Structure 1
Amino acid sequence: MTKKSVLITGCSTGGIGHALAVAFQKRGLTVFATARSPSKMADLASLPNVHLIALDVTDAQAIIAAAKKVEAETGGKLDILVNNAGAMYSMPILDTDVEKAKALFDVNYWAAIRMVKGFGDMVVKAKGVVVNMGSIAGSLGIPMQSTYNTSKAAINILSEGLRLELAPLGVRVLTVMAGNVTSNISENANTITLPEDSYYKPIEKELQPPFPKAPDIPTEQFVEWLANKTLAGTTGMIWNGGNTFLVRWVVPWLPTSVVVSDIPSCESIGTRVGLTYG
């Protein structure tokens, strides 16, 4: 019997993709783990049935090359495609570098479309699954990270539309509404360097990531849940991680002033720059 196969983007050590690769490998799948720099996931090479592929998800030609490698190994089918690669960009909107914001969307949004187009035929042949790593951030207008949150809102909506489009072709789509999970994304966030004339310059030190937030759930716990959901026939939006209950069921009913006041120092920032949130 042919092993099921899964390709995961963004598998650098310490992140969700890396842990998910291990979780699927333990379940007997053939795993194609990808990252821009294979050296950042080199430890996965020692695991049976794990193939490492260098892949920049913003490079259409690299995606074509990766698809050919997978096709050669699987006979033209891919059971699971996980669009996990992501980036962070934090900056007040008034001071946002538009080119950096576009680069963020290239990773967090457009890359998922490139991957679905590049591997879509293989997933359709397998009657497989597309897993898109969304986020509860896409439901929140959090100061200083609106660009990132908007990119996640975009992938959340894209994924749900894709689910309806692929259902007639026998393909399931999971939209992962991830809450706070231990990973590298906060550690990889940019240092905020503001222009001298920025309204927020007086509080620049207080704006530096990682930002205070609710407790994470362990990566291993999250990926075990996600692997099980993916293999169990689940479809649509699935929620897990720190703060998911609040964002899903409570936040929609609260005024913005209450939501942001739960973020440490948010009110003090507003006071010090002469602004009021709400």
Structure 2
Amino acid sequence: MAMPSTSKKVVLITGCSDGGLGSALAQKFLRKDYHVFATARNPSKMGTLSNQPNVTLLELDVTVTSQITTAVESIKKISGRLDILVNNAGRNHFSPVLDIDVSEAKEIFEINLWGPLALIKAFMPLLLESKGMVVNTTSVSGYLNVPYMGLYAATKRSLELLAETIRLEIEPFGVKTLQVVTGAVESNGQTYFGDWKLPDDSMYKPIEELIKHRVRGGDGHPREAAEKYAQEVVGDILEGKTGKVWRGGNSASTKRAVTTDVPQALLDRGAARDTGLDQVGANIEG
């Protein structure tokens, strides 16, 4: 039986559907002569990568244990090694905190927190062999209490805190860990909210259309091109950076705001600007 090829370094990237950040990252790694294992819940949505050399497409829902096991076995069989694991797959979510469905909230945590942890645990034996790297896509929203993004922010900051602890625990074994604190980037992250609406009994019904506009990307924040973001992130990874890097639109300004002594009232005003909460307050006062 033929032995697996190990001539190229190998990266596995989750969440590689067309138009997303995972696909952009995959393209950059291909240019660096990596073999890319690109994954998505639906492989048919990875058309951009499907016919390229040095790409293996895998079906992977990060919440399904059997699919994680199959992905590990596939990499062992095809390449025999893994140098970099990129936990990019995630699910966005928008809702006032009081309107969050707790069962749905648990599903979001399964995708954005427990799924990445399961992958880190499953692939760690291979990463220990290669003295490789774990990369996690987190979010600037985890540092700002932006209205309607509380659940998503909580999942991403939770992943970051967990991964930063793993970083210290795994460094003695030669494996690096990097968290990419991601700002606004052009992607398909808002495309699955076409039927978004508030519950009928929501206190925020008077501003539902304004919130819906924000949900679909109309928050006024400039978005960085996915290609530029991917170029910078792959550069960070290949330079061997560890800890946290801040990439994407608004990431530098967010980092400055949360790492300096900016008054909370000023941060709150920035987070609540154009969210419609002033309209709700005016209606109540009226």
User: When the two structures are superposed, what TM-score results if normalisation uses the length of structure 1?
Assistant: 0.93
Residues 129 and 174 in structure 1, CA contact (< 8 A), matched pair in contact too: yes
Q: CA deviation at 1:247?
A: 1.2
In 1, the alpha carbon distance for the partners of 2:169 and 2:236 equals 21
Change (3 A) 1:86 1:271: same
Which of the residues 159, 162, 168 maps onto 1:164? 168
Q: CA deviation at 1:135?
A: 1.0
Change (3 A) 1:151 1:195: same
Residues 90 and 189 in structure 1, CA contact (< 8 A), matched pair in contact too: no
Secondary structure at the counterpart of residue 274 of structure 1 = helix
Asked if 1:139 is matched to 2:139, the reply is no
Aligned to 1:216: 223
Q: CA deviation at 1:32?
A: 0.2
Asked if 1:41 is matched to 2:46, the reply is yes
In 2, the alpha carbon distance for the partners of 1:157 and 1:63 equals 23
1:6-50 alpha-carbon deviations (Å, 9 max, x no partner) = 000000000100011111011100000000011100221211100
Residues 204 and 280 in structure 2, CA contact (< 8 A), matched pair in contact too: no
Aligned to 1:203: 207
Q: CA deviation at 1:270?
A: 4.0
Asked if 1:54 is matched to 2:64, the reply is no
**Structure 1, 240-249 or 166-175: larger mean CA deviation:** 240-249
Asked if 1:259 is matched to 2:264, the reply is no
Secondary structure at the counterpart of residue 134 of structure 1 = strand
Which of the residues 243, 262, 278 maps onto 1:268? 278
In 2, the alpha carbon distance for the partners of 1:6 and 1:124 equals 14
Q: CA deviation at 1:258?
A: 2.9
Unaligned regions of 5+ residues in structure 2, if any?
A: 1-5
Change (3 A) 1:175 1:190: farther
Aligned to 2:72: 67
Q: CA deviation at 1:271?
A: 2.6
Aligned to 1:226: 233
Which of the residues 179, 189, 193 maps onto 1:185? 189
1:210-245 alpha-carbon deviations (Å, 9 max, x no partner) = 241421111000101111111111111011111112
In 2, the alpha carbon distance for the partners of 1:2 and 1:188 equals 39
Change (3 A) 1:127 1:273: farther
Q: Which amino acid aligns with 2:254?
A: V
Over aligned residues, Cα RMSD in angstroms? Answer: 1.7
Asked if 1:237 is matched to 2:244, the reply is yes
Q: Which amino acid aligns with 1:127?
A: K
In 1, the alpha carbon distance for the partners of 2:97 and 2:7 equals 50
1:160-183 alpha-carbon deviations (Å, 9 max, x no partner) = 111111101100000101111111
Percent same amino acid among aligned pairs? 38
Aligned to 2:14: 9
Secondary structure at the counterpart of residue 144 of structure 1 = coil
Secondary structure at the counterpart of residue 11 of structure 1 = coil
Q: Which amino acid aligns with 2:100?
A: T
Aligned to 2:25: 20
The 5 A counterparts of 1:93-104 are: 93-104=97-108
1:63-92 alpha-carbon deviations (Å, 9 max, x no partner) = 0001100111122x2000000001011111
Unaligned regions of 5+ residues in structure 1, if any?
A: none
Change (3 A) 1:254 1:188: farther
1:110-157 alpha-carbon deviations (Å, 9 max, x no partner) = 111110111111111110010000111111111111011111110111
Residues 109 and 152 in structure 1, CA contact (< 8 A), matched pair in contact too: yes
Q: CA deviation at 1:266?
A: 3.8
Aligned residue pairs, count:
274
Aligned to 2:3: none
